[in-house]
């Protein structure tokens, strides 16, 4: 198959969507498909054999790490040369509209996927009154696709309840070869804790942005005085968070990748994740693959990954003491923590990227088959 993938974010940016897409492109190419990635220009022209068509963009005012890239007329020639059999638009916004337009003008079937719960993000930026409008825009775009994919059953229910049609779940995936429990080390613990490896180490990995609700971890640190927090990642909310956590033993580690990131997961005592807006939370699977027990809000797509008391602990995000109680429960019982580590790894081993990509190929083929043999009116 020849797939043109339109995405609002791609390498070298680091986030859960890019993680999924980079592994997907790699595995599609390995399986013999050809992929063209259309994304905001990040300086790359090729990835794992797939051509990248970078579109110049400008930073989003509320979120400078994201670029808005407007489709250009020259893109038509690129697509005509590539001759896609199918166009897949990821988190359709500006470039996604271009993908939608070209699918129609080139008479190519369209598949869309939903990865970021944008309507719920709005309230964290003082724009909650626009949630209804955004849902209508999302419905308008997604319902022009032959098939819509999302990343969890919770998101499938949310999209369907807001009038988005033909929604299926694209299964989760994780690199179980990179993320391994045996990468744990005292040296990494010392780095994460700034020289106190004997202290309980709580870890957060991801964007430092308002919708991640990282500030809600502070009461946990106050309730467990000897615990230390390591925040891995960066983002537009970093300065505010540095002020918020100034009187706590919190280390702003910055970005980590590859084995350094895997070792951070494996070396921490718990991965804490308070966000209520996750469509899935691939970073949770990475933590679990590394044998790091998860403490997470019981919201969004997270319950699709974490089973409370089996491979991690879930807490009620409306309960101010929920995260505190779950963390104390985890840290107070070393035997239970060892069981959670073991079970977390077993769960992650079920979800390799190869299987997720084969499922995506089946979705692609179903769309192409429906296009070849349209149903009677």
Cis peptide before 173 (omega within 30 of 0): no
| Residue given tokens 């997907």 in the structure block | 24
**Pair 189, 94 in one domain:** no
Contacts of 278 (CB under 8 A, 6+ apart): 117, 299, 300, 301, 302
**Pair 219, 329 in one domain:** yes
Residue 114 lies in a domain: yes
**Pair 144, 293 in one domain:** no
Mean pLDDT of 166-174: 94
Determine the angle formed by the axes of helices 282-289 and 334-348, rounding to 10 degrees: 120
Predicted local distance difference test score (pLDDT) of residue 146: 97
Structural domain count of the chain: 2
Are the beta carbons of 118 and 66 closer than 8 angstroms?
no
Residue 31 lies in a domain: yes
Structural domain that includes position 253: 181-348
**Pair 330, 368 in one domain:** no
Q: What is the dihedral of CA 35, 38, 44, 49, to 10 degrees?
A: 0
Predicted local distance difference test score (pLDDT) of residue 228: 98
Contacts of 50 (CB under 8 A, 6+ apart): 25, 28, 29, 34, 35, 36, 37
List, for residues 104-116, the tens digit of each pLDDT value: 999 999 999 999 8
Residue 8 lies in a domain: yes
Residue 377 lies in a domain: no
Predicted local distance difference test score (pLDDT) of residue 241: 98
**Pair 121, 15 in one domain:** yes
DSSP secondary structure, 112-155, as one string:
EE--S-HHHHGGGGT-GGGHHHHHHHHHHHHTTSSEEEESSHHH
Assess whether pLDDT exceeds 50 at residue 375: no
**Pair 330, 360 in one domain:** no
d(CA 76, CA 66): 24
Per-residue 3-state assignment (H helix, E strand, C coil) for 20-42: HHHHHHHHHHHCCCEEEEEEECC
Exposed (0-12), middle (13-18) or buried (19+): which is 268, by Cβ within 10 Å? buried
**Pair 202, 341 in one domain:** yes
φ, ψ for residue 31, nearest 5 deg: -85, 5
Residue 59 lies in a domain: yes
As a whole number of angstroms, the longest Cα–Cα distance in the chain is: 69
**Pair 150, 138 in one domain:** yes
- In the three-class reduction of DSSP (H, G, I as helix; E, B as strand; rest coil), residue 239 is classed as helix
List, for residues 327-367, the tens digit of each pLDDT value: 999 999 999 999 999 999 999 999 989 999 999 999 999 99
Exposed (0-12), middle (13-18) or buried (19+): which is 131, by Cβ within 10 Å? middle
d(CA 71, CA 56): 9
**Pair 113, 8 in one domain:** yes
**Pair 21, 168 in one domain:** yes
Residue 205 lies in a domain: yes
Predicted local distance difference test score (pLDDT) of residue 377: 33
User: Which among 313, 315, 211, 196 is positioned nearest to 248, based on CA atoms?
Assistant: 196
Predicted local distance difference test score (pLDDT) of residue 84: 98
**Pair 366, 343 in one domain:** no
Query: Quick one: tokens of 285?
Result: 């699977």
Query: Quick one: tokens of 119?
Result: 């309507």
Are the beta carbons of 39 and 8 closer than 8 angstroms?
yes
- 288 or 13: which leads in pLDDT: 288
Residue 331 lies in a domain: yes
Length of the chain: 377
68 sits in which H/E element: strand 63-69
- 123 or 328: which leads in pLDDT: 328
Q: How do strand 147-150 and strand 110-113 relate by DSSP bridges?
A: parallel
- 118 or 366: which leads in pLDDT: 366
353 sits in which H/E element: helix 353-372
CATH number of domain containing 334:
3.40.50.2000
**Pair 215, 140 in one domain:** no
Residue 116 lies in a domain: yes
Strands of the sheet with 34-40, listed across from one edge: 46-47, 50-55, 34-40, 2-7, 86-90, 110-113, 147-150, 167-169
Predicted local distance difference test score (pLDDT) of residue 119: 57
């Amino acid at each position: 198959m020849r797939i043109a993938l339109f995405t609002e974010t791609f390498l070298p940016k680091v986030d859960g969507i890019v993680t999924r897409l980079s592994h997907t492109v790699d595995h599609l190419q390995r399986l013999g498909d050809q992929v063209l990635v259309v994304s905001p220009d990040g300086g790359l022209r090729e990835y794992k054999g797939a051509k990248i068509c970078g579109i110049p963009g400008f930073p989003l005012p509320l979120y400078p790490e994201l670029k808005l890239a407007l489709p250009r007329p020259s893109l038509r020639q690129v697509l005509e040369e590539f001759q896609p059999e199918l166009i897949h638009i990821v988190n359709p916004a500006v470039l996604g509209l271009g993908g939608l337009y070209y699918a129609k003008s080139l008479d190519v079937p369209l598949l869309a996927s939903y990865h970021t719960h944008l309507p719920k993000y709005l309230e964290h930026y003082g724009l909650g009154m626009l949630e209804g409008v955004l849902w209508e825009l999302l419905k308008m775009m997604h319902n022009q696709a032959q098939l819509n994919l999302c990343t969890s059953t919770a998101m499938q229910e949310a999209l369907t309840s807001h009038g988005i049609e033909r929604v299926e779940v694209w299964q989760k995936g994780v690199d179980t070869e990179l993320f391994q429990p045996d990468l744990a080390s005292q040296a990494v613990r010392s780095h994460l804790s700034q020289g106190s490896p004997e202290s309980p180490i709580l870890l957060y990995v991801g964007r430092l942005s308002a919708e991640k609700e990282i500030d809600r971890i502070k009461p946990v640190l106050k309730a467990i005085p000897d615990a230390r927090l390591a925040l891995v990642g960066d983002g537009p909310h970093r300065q505010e968070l540095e002020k918020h956590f100034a009187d706590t033993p919190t280390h702003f580690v910055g970005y980590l990748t590859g084995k350094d990131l895997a070792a951070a997961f494996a070396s921490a005592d718990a991965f804490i994740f308070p966000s209520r807006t996750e469509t899935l939370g691939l970073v949770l699977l990475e933590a679990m693959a590394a044998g790091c027990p998860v403490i997470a809000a019981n919201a969004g797509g997270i319950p699709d990954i974490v089973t409370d008391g089996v491979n991690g602990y879930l807490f009620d995000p409306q309960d101010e003491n929920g995260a505190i109680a779950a963390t104390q429960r985890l840290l107070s019982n070393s035997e239970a923590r060892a069981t959670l580590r073991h079970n977390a790894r077993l769960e992650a081993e079920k979800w390799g990227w190869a299987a997720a990509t084969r499922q995506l190929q089946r979705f692609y083929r179903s769309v192409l088959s429906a296009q070849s043999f349209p149903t009677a009116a």
